[in-house]
Amino acid sequence: MASQTASIERSPSIQDLKHPARLIALGFGSGLSKYAPGTVGTAWGWLSFNLFLAQRNDITIAIVWLSALFFGWWACKATSDALGSLDSGHIVWDEILAFWLVLWLLGPSAFGLQLLAFLLFRFFDAAKPQPVKWADSTFKGTGWRGAWGIIWDDLVAAFCSLLVLAVLHQWLG
């Protein structure tokens, strides 16, 4: 039987924001919230998308999003290692990235529809019903595989949210 090295998980601090990877993974400070950091990070994602990306064309958004995915993968790995955690709740880049995807694919929309998307995403991300639960357990572990796992379940939660929104759109017109 192989032994695993135990690591002591620590909470991040404002000092962690001095490191570029942790600045990104901790959502530019939104992940430092003591209460519901995933929700705070998603809210930061909502605000930042509307401030910086919503008025851009799809090619620009795609380039920014894919860059954010790969830099985020690196940042989540480095921050996970630094915090001694496989998937710290304070790492919120995954929520930001996934909610950017929801807002991008939703297209220009009213505040009420964006709020519904936010609530659906938070439900799927926090409650982790299937298939989000499956995605959350698929890539657990250390190394680059584990860093992908930090992001993967949030992308599945994003697609579940979009699926519910599409069904509601079909039913309600």
CA 80, 84, 86, 88 torsion-angle sign: negative
In this predicted structure, what is the pLDDT of residue 143? 77
Helix (H) or strand (E) holding 63: helix 58-83
Inside any domain, residue 1: no
Does the residue 43 lie in any domain? yes
Q: Tell me the pTM.
A: 0.94
- Could you report the per-residue pLDDT of 127-150, keeping only the tens digit for each? 999 999 999 998 888 877 888 999
In a domain, 8, yes or no: no
pLDDT value at 21 more than 60: yes
User: pLDDT per residue over 75-107, tens digit each?
Assistant: 999 999 999 999 999 999 999 999 999 999 999
3-class secondary-structure state, position 54:
coil
> How many domains does the chain fold into?
1
6 falls within a domain: no
Residue 70's domain spans which residues? 14-172
Q: Is residue 29 part of a domain?
A: yes
Give helix 93-106 / helix 143-172 axis angle, nearest 10°.
30
